[in-house]
Amino acid sequence: MNYSACFIVLLTVCTFSTVAAEDEYRYMDPPVANQIADLMDDDSDGVINARDLCTETPNGAEINNDGCEKYKDDMEDWDLKVLFAHDSSKINPVFMNELGSMVDFLNKYPETSIELQGHASIVGEPDYNQALSERRAQKVQATLISMGISPERVKMVGFGEMVTDREGESPVAHAVNRRVVATVVGFDHDLIKEWTVFTSRPK
């Protein structure tokens, strides 16, 4: 066999092998990646189930990289701030969900209680503002009780215009000072969380 014949035979074999390989890949099923990690987020805390070490994180709580709620190391005030319109103790219904979150927390931790502190702006007479601050605290208290919280766990006090959150007589200062502030006590390690409920704009 001469060199030309050998070259033709070798070329034929290589061509056949290439075509066969192409046919093999053409009919092979594409690989399917196995989904090992659970990418769902059942407790909606922003951490997928595969990485979430705390699967029942309370809604709204600050979390760490493992999906667990953060706790305070000492007894600090929990904040629930309800701001009111001028000369009003009415809570806008649109913000009942925020109060509901506080109720959920109190139900989950029955050893806790809450103190409501009513305040008023410096507009008006001091005696009237004292009564108004008490009505505001009573309104929030009654709302929490109507949502299932025991009255023994919801204390209230009115401060009138004596304790302001912001100094001055600007509209913003008056709006911020018309408020009920609530603190949760009785919990060794408090969850880091804050509720702020705004009512309608001042009339």
Digit-coded pLDDT (tens) for 121-135: 999 999 999 999 999
Per-position b or e across 166-197, b if 16+ CB within 10 A of its CB: eeeeeeeebbbbbbbbbbbeebeebbebebeb
CA distances to 49, 51, 65, 141, 170 from 42, in Å: 7, 12, 16, 33, 46
Whether pLDDT at 113 is above 80: yes
State the pLDDT at residue 11: 47
pLDDT band of residue 194 (cuts 50, 70, 90) is very low
The CA distance from 60 to 113, in Å, is 19
State the pLDDT at residue 77: 41
Domains of the chain, start order: 35-70 (no CATH), 72-191 (3.30.1330.60)
